[in-house]
Amino acid sequence: MIPRRTALGLLALAPATLALPRAARAAEPRVFQRGGLAINGIDPVAYFDGNGPVPGLRDWSHDWDGATWVFAGAANRDAFAADPARFAPAFGGYCAFAASRGYLAPTIPEAWSVHDGRLFLNASLRARELWLAELPGVIAAGEANWPAILG
């Protein structure tokens, strides 16, 4: 049990404590990464070939936008290095549906879409389905939220 005098002293400090600035929350990286690799270690260029998720190899890597990207071969690496904005997924590879709702979510390689020449990833196949059903509004909403949702 706290003595009454101590309790009153703690209550008196509460407003002063609330006035102190909060510690800055660490911002999320601009690119979704797992195991030190962008977008789960999947080759982003392969999605544009219609091959779906193709694992990349560290032998064919390129550092861009604070992340290490890996590719299935030198040609894909070189294409990405020449124009990363063309091949990198929207919203840093975070879930496009979540971005449209104002928050971040990790993604899985199988939940992907290429729409109007842009790669979009989602957290699940269900999230992808919901995202596709609301095109193009979800893209505009995600763009309005990006990059502020990184924190």
Confidence class for position 19, pLDDT limits 50, 70, 90: very low
Render 18-65 in DSSP notation, one character per residue: HHSPPPPPPPPPSS-EETTEEGGGB-HHHHHTT----B-EEEEEEEET
Structure tokens at 77: 């690496």
pLDDT digits (tens, 9 = 90+) for 41-92: 999 999 999 889 999 999 999 999 999 999 999 999 999 999 999 999 999 9
Farthest-apart Cα atoms in the chain, separation: 73
Q: What pLDDT is recorded for position 57?
A: 97
d(CA 5, CA 80): 66
Confidence grade of residue 126 (pLDDT, cut at 50, 70, 90): very high
Instruction: Look at residue 76 and give its three-state secondary structure.
Output: helix
Q: 8 to each of 3, 12, 18, 111, how far by Cα in Å? A: 9, 6, 16, 56
* Distance of alpha carbon 17 from alpha carbon 27, whole angstroms: 24
